[in-house]
Copies of this chain bind each other. A is one copy, B any other.
Amino acid sequence: MQTMHKFNTDLEKCQANFQALTPIRFLTRAAEVFPDRTAVIYKDRRYTWAEYSDRCHKLARALIASGVERGNTVAIMAPNVPAMVEAQFGVPLSGGVINCINIRLDAAAVAFILEHSETKVMLVDQQFAKVARDAIALSGMPIPVIDIADSDAGSTDLIGKIEYEDFLESAPRTVSVRYPEEEWEAIALNYTSGTTGNPKGVVYHHRGAYLNSLGQIINAELAGRRPVYLWTLPLFHCNGWCYAWALAAVGGTHVCLRKAAASDIFAAIEQHQVTHFCSAPTVLNFLIAGKPASWKAPDEPIKVVCAGASPPVSVLQQVVEMGFSVLHVYGMTEMHGITTLCQSQESWEGLDLTERMGRLGRQGVRTVVADEMIVCAPDSYESVPRDGKTIGEVMFRGNLAMKGYLKNPAATREAFADGWYHTGDLAVMHEDGYIEIKDRSKDIIISGGENVSSLELEDVLYTLPAIAEVAVVAVPDEKWGEVPCAIIDLRPEHVGKVSEQDVIQFCRTKLPGFKVPRHIIFEPITRTATGKLQKFKLRAHAAEVISARKA
Chain A residues proximal to chain B, CB less than 8 Å: 1-3, 5-19, 21, 25-26, 29, 32-37, 70-72, 97, 118, 181-182, 184-186, 189, 203, 208, 211, 214, 217-219, 221, 223-224, 226, 249-250, 343, 345-347, 365-366, 368-369, 371-372, 396-399, 401-404, 406-409, 412, 415-416, 419-421, 433
Cα A21 to Cα B346 with chains together (Å): 29
Cα A345 to Cα B368 with chains together (Å): 28
Contact in complex: B420, A6 (CB < 8 Å):
no
From B184, B223, B399, B433, A32 is in contact (CB under 8 Å) with B433
Question: Given known contacts A6-B406, A11-B403, A17-B403, what 8 new A-B pairs fall within 8 Å (CB)?
Answer: A6-B407, A8-B71, A10-B407, A15-B419, A16-B416, A17-B416, A33-B365, A214-B369
Which residues from B are CB-within-8-Å of A32?
365, 433
Residue of B nearest to A407 (CB): B6
Nearest chain B CB to A414 CB, angstrom units: 11
Residue of B nearest to A1 (CB): B181
Which residues from B are CB-within-8-Å of A97?
7
Which residues from B are CB-within-8-Å of A3?
70-71, 181
Contact in complex: B71, A404 (CB < 8 Å):
no
Contact in complex: A71, B5 (CB < 8 Å):
yes
Q: A7-B97, A407-B10 are in contact. Are A347 and B249 (CB under 8 A)?
A: no
Oligomeric state, in copies = 2
From B7, B218, B396, B409, A250 is in contact (CB under 8 Å) with B218
Residue in A12, A37, A181, A368 with the greatest tally of chain B CB atoms within 10 Å: A368
Contact in complex: B7, A186 (CB < 8 Å):
yes
Which residues from B are CB-within-8-Å of A223?
217-219, 221, 223-224
Contact in complex: B29, A399 (CB < 8 Å):
no
Which residues from B are CB-within-8-Å of A412?
10-11
Nearest chain B CB to A16 CB, angstrom units: 4
From B1, B184, B186, B398, A19 is in contact (CB under 8 Å) with B398
Nearest chain B CB to A334 CB, angstrom units: 9
Nearest chain B CB to A303 CB, angstrom units: 11
From B6, B37, B397, B406, A346 is in contact (CB under 8 Å) with B37
Residue of B nearest to A341 (CB): B33
Which residues from B are CB-within-8-Å of A15?
397, 416, 419
Which 10 residue pairs of A and B lie closest in terms of their CB atoms, listed nearest first?
A5-B71, A15-B419, A17-B401, A7-B186, A11-B403, A16-B416, A10-B409, A11-B404, A218-B223, A224-B224
Cα A301 to Cα B136 with chains together (Å): 58
From B36, B221, B346, B402, A224 is in contact (CB under 8 Å) with B221
Some 9 contacts from A to B, beta carbons below 8 A apart, are A3-B181, A6-B407, A7-B189, A10-B407, A16-B396, A17-B401, A35-B433, A218-B250, A223-B223
Cα A184 to Cα B416 with chains together (Å): 25
Cα A208 to Cα B14 with chains together (Å): 14
Q: A11-B412, A223-B223, A407-B6 are in contact. Are A368 and B399 (CB under 8 A)?
A: no
Cα A97 to Cα B11 with chains together (Å): 14
Contact in complex: B2, A182 (CB < 8 Å):
yes
Which residues from B are CB-within-8-Å of A118?
6
Contact in complex: A17, B421 (CB < 8 Å):
yes
Contact in complex: A16, B371 (CB < 8 Å):
no
From B19, B70, B396, B406, A399 is in contact (CB under 8 Å) with B19
Cα A32 to Cα B16 with chains together (Å): 37
Which residues from B are CB-within-8-Å of A409?
10
